[in-house]
Amino acid sequence: MTGPRYTKLAQSLPANVPFVGPEVQERDMGKPFRARLGANESVFGPSPKAIEAMEQASHDIWKYADSTNFALKNALAEQIGGTPDNIVLGSGIDGLLGELVRLLIEPGDAVVTSDGAYPTFNYHVVGFGGALHKVPFKNDHEDIDALLDKAAEVDAKLIYLANPDNPMGSWHTGDVIKAALDRIPDGALLCLDEAYIEFAPEGTAPDVALDDPRVIRFRTFSKAYGMAGARVGYGFGHVDLIKNFDKIRNHFGMNRAAQDGALAALQDQEWLAHVQSEVARSKNRIAAIAQANGLSALPSATNFVTIDCGSDGAFAVAMVKALGELGVFVRMPFQAPQNRCIRISAGTDADLDVLEEALPKALAKVRGA
């Protein structure tokens, strides 16, 4: 019997995805969630101007998109400084992470990350045969010193750091990140994931030249700009590194509507400020709901709040399940001791009304069990 001849690497990998989406869970439950507070999307949506631009672009959706992303790259270059040659566009940060790993990592190459950090990055590393080396969080923060020490120990080619961090919502100042660059071992590259940077305090983004060869930075339109479904991410770094993406990237990986919507969103900073205000208000209410139920909210520089349940991972797992049964979709960190927590995305007043009703019921059920 004939069939495809898979690579040894592919045969060695499990068939899975990093996250089970809420739609899968809704199908399993046979009903929709009442409040979708687990995926760190922006329920406040994209700019109305972005929606209008995408609607207009849909009439030309029969055309391929501009594979150079000319207009969007130029607008981003104007906003962040540098030139379009410093910028690469892709299908969300997830897609760009995969392309970065493909560009740098061969089977057996060492990659360093935090134990409990973004699983999709790990998924790409393992998928290309890289050897993951993990260090634990320190005080609910990614431990930059430990990451750099491990990178030197294993001769890492790539170091992953999210700032602000998911799933804890913690962050380091830009000055700390900038100082850390001087400790990056020769031949290693820092992959700095700044997906939540628009929600972070002033000074969180490091003041580093776009052409610094020691770092590549990734940002997205999925969070603050409310376009998670459009899949628009961008990276910026040294021209030579960015140029090499053209060897392996999916040149038509972003459709015309997504390109036009992202451009319109970028130009509507008033809407961005509105979303930032709504997220801040929502996070304050989530923290208050948690406190009213004897739980504590960790400081957050993202669009979610990580809630310390004051117990262990089994308790948090039971809380996620109990809230889900009550119609509230949330997630939790995977690794101890961070897995004592649950993570709740910013939501509308209606969403948080549901959370306020469901949280004491879920706690009573789990504590009673």
pLDDT for the residue numbered 278: 98
**CA–CA distance, 258 with 145 (Å, rounded to integer):** 38
Residue 248 in tokens: 């392996």
The residues near 89 (Cβ < 8 Å, ≥ 6 apart) are 69, 72, 73, 232, 233, 234, 254
In which element (H, E) is residue 153 found?
helix 144-154
pTM of the model: 0.96
Residue 209: partners with Cβ closer than 8 Å, 6 or more residues away: none
- The pLDDT of 290-312, averaged and rounded, is 98
Stretch 71-91: mean pLDDT: 96
**pLDDT at residue number 216:** 98
Give the end-to-end CA distance of the chain in Å, rounded to a whole number: 53
Q: Is it the case that residue 351 has pLDDT exceeding 90?
A: yes
Residue 344 has pLDDT above 70, yes or no: yes
User: How do strand 110-114 and strand 131-135 relate by DSSP bridges?
Assistant: parallel
pLDDT tens for each residue of 199-255: 999 999 999 999 999 999 999 999 999 999 999 999 999 999 999 999 999 999 899
Distance separating alpha carbons of residues 91 and 229, to the nearest angstrom? 10
CATH superfamily of 17-45+270-368: Aspartate Aminotransferase, domain 1 (3.90.1150.10)
What pLDDT is attached to residue 1?
62
pLDDT at 3: 86
d(CA 45, CA 265) in angstroms, rounded, equals 11
Each residue's pLDDT tens digit, 259-272? 999 999 999 999 99
Torsion angle of alpha carbons 320, 325, 327, 331, nearest 10°? 20
Q: Going by C-beta distance under 8 Å and a sequence separation of 6 or more, which residues neighbour residue 48?
A: 271
**Domain 48-267 is found in CATH 2.60.40.10:** no
- The band of 16, judged by pLDDT with boundaries at 50, 70 and 90, is confident
pLDDT of residue 324 exceeding 80, the answer is yes
Residue 292 makes CB contacts below 8 A (sequence gap 6+) with: none
Cα separation, 310 vs 279, in Å, equals: 25
CB 304 within 8 A of CB 329: no
Lowest mean pLDDT among 12-16, 29-33, 129-133: 12-16
How many angstroms separate the CA atoms of 215 and 184, rounded?
Answer: 9
Percent of the chain with pLDDT over 90: 95
User: pLDDT digits over 56-67, tens only?
Assistant: 999 999 999 999
- 205 contacts 230 by C-beta, under 8 angstroms: no
Report the distance separating Cα 101 and Cα 253, nearest Å: 17
| 18: confidence class by pLDDT, cuts 50, 70, 90 | confident
Whether 212 and 177 have beta carbons less than 8 Å apart is answered as no
pLDDT one-digit tens code per residue, 82-129: 999 999 999 999 999 999 999 999 999 999 999 999 999 999 999 999
Whether 256 and 230 have beta carbons less than 8 Å apart is answered as no
Instruction: Average the pLDDT over 164-189 and give the result.
Output: 97
Which one, of 193, 198, 168, 194, lies nearest residue 305 by Cα? 168
- Whether the ω angle into residue 299 lies within 30 degrees of 0, i.e. cis, is no
Q: What is the mean pLDDT of residues 24-39?
A: 94
Q: What pLDDT, on the 0 to 100 scale, is given for residue 369? A: 77
Residue intervals of the chain classified under CATH 3.40.640.10 are 48-267
Domain with CATH 3.90.1150.10 in the chain: 17-45+270-368
Residue 105's pLDDT is what? Answer: 98
Q: At what angle do helices 48-57 and 256-266 cross, to 10 degrees?
A: 150
Distance of CA 22 to the CA centre of its chain: 16
**What does the mean pLDDT of the chain come to?**
96
